[in-house]
Structure 1
Amino acid sequence: MSDLCFFQHFRLTKETVLALLPALEPRLEYVHDLNNSVSPINQLLLCLRYYATGCHQLSLAYFGGMHKSTVNRIVKRVTEAICHLRQDYINFPRTPEERVAIQYNFFEIAGFPRVTGAIDCTHIRIQSPGGEDGEIFRNRKGHFSLNVQAVVDASYKFLNIVARWPGSTHDATIFRNCMLRAQFERNDFADCVMLGDSGYAIKPYLLTPLLETRTRAEQRYNESHIRTRVIVENTFGIWKRRFPILAYGCRTKVPLTMNIIVATAILHNIARNSGEDLPPNANEHNEQRFLKLLNRANIPAVVRPQNNAGFGVRNHLINNYFNV
């Protein structure tokens, strides 16, 4: 294939795929060559093609010239191999120097200080899992999904991802039960804040926008907050456009779907590290369908306990930083 054709088919460039292959080969290589075993590179390309289309695995079997059951095993095998790279590519900044660098990049967007990440959730469509608990995966829009929480930095890369909650779960519930919240509560990330929408409870380390502004300082705060936090929405858009299976829907079982979400997030970060562009569209119809799927309604405000410490941090910022 030409470079452009390869990019369209597999959503990553040849150089990036070849650079990724050595990290996956130990987990993909068979111990023998009996029964026409599939090579690691062909396993990887087949899995990438699945992420790029979200097609039925029977169609993928025709594409790869193999049986459907082989395709199923390969997708699961490669996805798990990619997920083992999570600690190398998805992690919150560990050192003060890394955190300062991220804060500086966020500050350049709209002048909001101390921001280490923007947090939000997005729904990944799945088929009905069935069973007694199947309905908990039905979200407020009426279709089945996983509600995926992510924290991103200013360069559109994932710092943290949680992909295990059913679609009916509220965003605030996911954050309340995640490890990242516990780390912030322990003050592991001193002098750092995240930005979230009004669906989250305000905390000293998680700032939300004002529901109503009365002064010019409050308006500046909200404008800066929204312009900075929109980076997470943009990241979701880039991620889903690069791997359309996330927008069109996963037809695999829920545990494998969770792994696919994490694996595509890892590949997204690898692509960002490599400076790759977005893949070109195969046709305009798919782009219109994709944009329709990404049209997310605003999360309504919910009744929740007041957090005086969080309000104090926000008011201090408004009165001493944005009041100029």
Structure 2
Amino acid sequence: MGPVRGFRKRKRAEKKVDALSSVAAADHSGDWWDDFSRRITGSLSLSKEVCMFESVFKMSRKTFNYICSLVRDDLMAKTSNFSFSNGHLMTIEDQVAIALRRLSSGDSLLSIGLSFGLNHSTVSAVTWRFVEAMEERGFHHLRWPNSEQEMESIKRKFEKVRGLPNCCGAIDTTHIMMCLPSADASNKVWLDPEKNHSMVVQAIVDAEMRFMDIVTGWPGSMAESVVLRNSGFFKLCEKGMRLNGKKMELGEGLELAEYIIGDSSFPLLPWLLTPYQGKELCESMVEFNARHSATRVVVQRALARFKDMCGIVQGEMWRPDKHKLPRIIHVCCILHNIAIDLEDEARNQTSVSPQHDSGYREQICNFDDKEGVAARDRLCRYLSGR
């Protein structure tokens, strides 16, 4: 049940994205989709239009082709040969399409199997092979920035939102709900404060809603602040190995170190600034909270879009494998980032609402580190011009 974390040191692989995308787009014509759609029963059987492709897979053909190019070698290296009920062997495109349909729709294995003329166990096997391949070949799409230039770009984009300087990211958590048998006493650990069985996902995003660090695998019974403290990100920050870049001069000999922002469910730390709490706040504190909230909405929208794009993590999952689920979540986050990296227009058709955890109340963490209080006050005074 170990947490899945973001990856680092992937710079070289990133440079291949545009080139591979172009090659993939050139190598595949519309013939595959025409042939594939004829094998699908029901409402999808007559779909050949591009818009229908995007509604089925929640991505463009360009992005689909790029993903195929990522996993092609791994899937072709496997010895298993999957086939449809009519005996036709699955191509790489077939396998990717089936896996993406499972991840994007969230439909049951049985339902997808019926649609594609497959046994539900085959759908499961194809999907898991895809997940394994994407973990191996797509990891460079989800990582913490590894250069000062990258981080400076992120800071500039955050500052453009509502003027928060030197901000490096926004953090939030969401719950992946699971349907588990209540009679099994071991499942009680998965009960969250809203009495749902769930798994927690902690995410840190940049100003473009790109995941830079994720942690998942922890049960819903764990408070968000506890998940944070058990994360690799927290440990790196406490050791001075992350958010340790260029400080900003505020004047009068004061400096502002790099930081991320989060809501009141997180502790106030020197590198994690949360809103002021209480009803009797001065004008500058109210203004700080407004700027903080308007900037923080980027992570709420990212998580909402992540769930919209990957329907498998939306709603209540029927008795999932709790050891495999963190890896599925991780791959869904990679797919979310790929859509951003390739500027996929289909992503604009998904939700921009900040509502990603409907029915969940905000948890409150009352821990305020003294240095965190001082850092927030310095920033508050700077923003108010005092």
- Write the letter of the residue equivalent to 2:221: S
Match of 1:110 among 132, 145, 162: 162
- Deviation of 1:293 after TM superposition, in Å, equals 7.0
Equivalences for residues 203-282 of structure 1 within 5 A: 203-212=269-278, 214-251=281-318, 252-276=320-344, 277-278=346-347, 280=349
Q: Distance in 2 between matches of 1:160 and 1:2?
A: 36
- Deviation of 1:85 after TM superposition, in Å, equals 3.7
Aligned length: 316
Sequence identity percentage? 24
Change (3 A) 1:236 1:65: same
Change (3 A) 1:3 1:322: same
Partner of 2:363: 300
Q: Distance in 1 between matches of 2:262 and 2:154?
A: 17
What secondary structure sits across from 1:126 in the alignment?
strand
2:59 is equivalent to residue 23 of structure 1:
no
- Contact 1:7 1:279 survives alignment (8 Å): no
| CA offset digits 1:152-208 (Å, max 9, x no partner) | 010011011111111111110111011111121122222320001111111100000
Query: Which one is further off, 183-192 or 200-209?
Result: 183-192
- Write the letter of the residue equivalent to 2:92: P
Partner of 2:115: 63
Equivalences for residues 2-17 of structure 1 within 5 A: 2-17=49-64
Q: Distance in 2 between matches of 1:235 and 1:292?
A: 10
Following superposition, which runs of at least 4 residues in structure 1 exceed 6 angstroms of deviation? 290-293
What secondary structure sits across from 1:250 in the alignment?
strand
Q: Distance in 2 between matches of 1:236 and 1:44?
A: 23
Q: Distance in 1 between matches of 2:211 and 2:58?
A: 18
Q: Distance in 2 between matches of 1:174 and 1:86?
A: 25
| TM-score computed with the length of structure 2 as normaliser | 0.76
Q: Distance in 1 between matches of 2:372 and 2:127?
A: 44
- Write the letter of the residue equivalent to 2:274: T
- Write the letter of the residue equivalent to 1:123: H
- Contact 1:247 1:294 survives alignment (8 Å): no
Bigger radius of gyration, 1 or 2? 2
Q: Distance in 2 between matches of 1:8 and 1:222?
A: 38
2:213 is equivalent to residue 151 of structure 1:
no
What secondary structure sits across from 1:254 in the alignment?
coil
Change (3 A) 1:32 1:123: closer
Q: Distance in 2 between matches of 1:35 and 1:220?
A: 59
Q: Distance in 2 between matches of 1:296 and 1:86?
A: 33
- Write the letter of the residue equivalent to 2:275: P
* RMSD of aligned Cα (Å): 2.3
What secondary structure sits across from 1:107 in the alignment?
helix
- Contact 2:173 2:200 survives alignment (8 Å): yes
